[in-house]
């Protein structure tokens, strides 16, 4: 059975200013998602599941269904504010959904095979998909998961801070610890993260998670249990987010699962701010000139 690609596309893109998930970056208005799915098909994925807001369903179908028909199976699931479906019986007021690990739970009804999770607005490169397919078809188990690890120095924006899952990896390439740093940025020639109005240094080659994770469906039950506790504990904190690294940290610390950190030489780039768009477009143009992608992706 071929693995599934789960795309996190329900974010609000507040710093970008518009729906960057369906913004055009390629020469024929291709989205970053287009390039992700193109690479995923080439690498050997058999299905793509979009996690979106329900009100964007028709927009997504109009953009992707004509391109993907006959090439890969598609499904759509919705991330919303209904937390009773996960066993949380109290009312909690929120301005936005609960974050990336909560989004994964939205996909539980559409996935019965090993799968990987990616962000809609990150360009990961073919090598990352090939390595993930290899892991998901030869190594994955309910106690052996993975993540693609990028060097932090190659993942930053020139226009502001970004969130990164900063990893500690042992000599066997296995994740020992991960911390979500929500304000990572350059400070001159240095890389730092900010916390409590202080700055802490990070080395250029620190491995970080760009939300490219490999799982089996067993992760859904564990994530749901953790989310119920998280939601109750943060009922008075409307900005609290339930990140995938929180699930990974629990699994690692409780020794319920290992995470193989798979390094990649793929070129990563993404869009956090509107000012990132010309850089992303130029990067894609260069990859096309280098022969990595055709001028017209789907023709």
pLDDT tens per residue, range 39-68? 999 999 999 999 998 888 998 899 899 999
CB 270 within 8 A of CB 119: yes
pLDDT at 221 over 50: yes
**Euclidean distance between CA atoms 6 and 262, whole angstroms:** 18
**Euclidean distance between CA atoms 229 and 232, whole angstroms:** 5
Number of domains in the chain: 1
pLDDT at site 11:
66
pLDDT at site 145:
98
pLDDT at site 14:
43
Least confident range of 7-21, 43-57, 170-184: 7-21
Any idea which residue has 């999770």 for tokens? 117
**Euclidean distance between CA atoms 117 and 187, whole angstroms:** 31
Could you tell me how far CA 274 lies from the centroid of its own chain? 19
CA angle 103, 104, 107 (to 5 degrees): 100
Locate 252 and state its tokens: 């690692």
Locate 5 and state its tokens: 């690609």
Is 297 part of any domain? no
Give 19 or 155, the one with higher predicted confidence: 155
pLDDT at site 17:
41
Q: How many residues does the chain have?
A: 299
Least confident range of 83-97, 187-201, 203-217: 83-97
**Euclidean distance between CA atoms 32 and 269, whole angstroms:** 10
Is 170 part of any domain? yes
pLDDT at site 118:
96
Least confident range of 137-146, 201-210, 267-276: 267-276
Give buried/exposed letters for 245-267 (b at 16+ CB in 10 A, else e).
bbbbbebbeeeebbbbbbebebb
Q: Which domain holds residue 188?
A: 4-289
Is 295 part of any domain? no
pLDDT at site 16:
36
pLDDT at 20 over 70: no
**Euclidean distance between CA atoms 150 and 277, whole angstroms:** 21
**Euclidean distance between CA atoms 264 and 218, whole angstroms:** 26
Is 96 part of any domain? yes
The pLDDT mean for the chain works out to 89
pLDDT at site 245:
87
Q: What percent of the chain has pLDDT over 70?
A: 96
Q: For the chain, first and last CA: distance in Å?
A: 27
Could you tell me how far CA 217 lies from the centroid of its own chain? 17
21-32 pLDDT, tens per residue?
Answer: 677 888 898 999
The alpha carbon torsion through 53, 55, 60, 65 (nearest 10 deg) reads 110
Closest CA to 123 of 100, 93, 154, 146: 154
pLDDT at site 21:
67
pLDDT at 35 over 90: yes
Identify the CATH number of the domain in which residue 114 sits.
3.90.550.10
**Measuring CA to CA, how many Å separate 72 from each of 45, 76, 129, 191, 194?**
8, 13, 15, 40, 41
CB atoms within 10 A of CB 75: 15
């Amino acid at each position: 059975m071929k693995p599934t690609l789960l795309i996190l596309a329900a974010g609000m893109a507040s710093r970008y200013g518009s729906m960057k998930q369906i913004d055009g970056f390629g020469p024929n208005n291709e989205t970053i998602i287009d390039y992700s799915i193109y690479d995923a098909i080439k690498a050997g994925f058999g299905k793509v599941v979009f996690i979106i807001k329900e009100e964007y369903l028709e927009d997504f179908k109009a953009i992707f269904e004509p391109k993907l028909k006959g090439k890969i199976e598609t499904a759509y699931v919705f991330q919303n504010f209904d937390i009773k479906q996960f066993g949380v019986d109290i009312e909690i007021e929120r301005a936005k959904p609960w974050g990336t690990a909560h989004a994964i739970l939205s996909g539980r009804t559409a996935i019965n095979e090993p799968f990987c999770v990616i962000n809609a607005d990150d360009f990961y490169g073919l090598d990352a998909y090939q390595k993930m397919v290899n892991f998901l078809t030869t190594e994955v188990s309910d106690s052996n998961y993975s993540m693609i690890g990028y060097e932090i120095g190659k993942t930053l924006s020139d226009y502001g801070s970004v969130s990164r899952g900063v990893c500690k990896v042992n000599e066997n390439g296995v994740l020992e610890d991960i911390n979500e740093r929500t304000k990572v940025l350059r400070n001159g020639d240095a890389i730092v993260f900010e916390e409590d109005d202080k700055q802490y240094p990070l080395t250029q080659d620190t491995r970080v998670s760009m939300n490219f994770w490999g799982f089996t469906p067993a992760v859904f039950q564990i994530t749901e249990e953790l989310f119920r506790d998280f939601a109750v504990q943060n009922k008075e904190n409307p900005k609290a987010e339930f990140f995938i690294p929180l699930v990974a940290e629990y699994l690692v610390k409780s020794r319920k699962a290992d995470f193989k950190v798979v390094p990649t030489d793929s070129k990563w780039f993404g869009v956090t701010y509107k000012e990132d768009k010309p850089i992303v477009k130029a990067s894609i143009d260069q990859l096309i000139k280098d022969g990595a992608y055709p001028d017209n992706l789907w023709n």
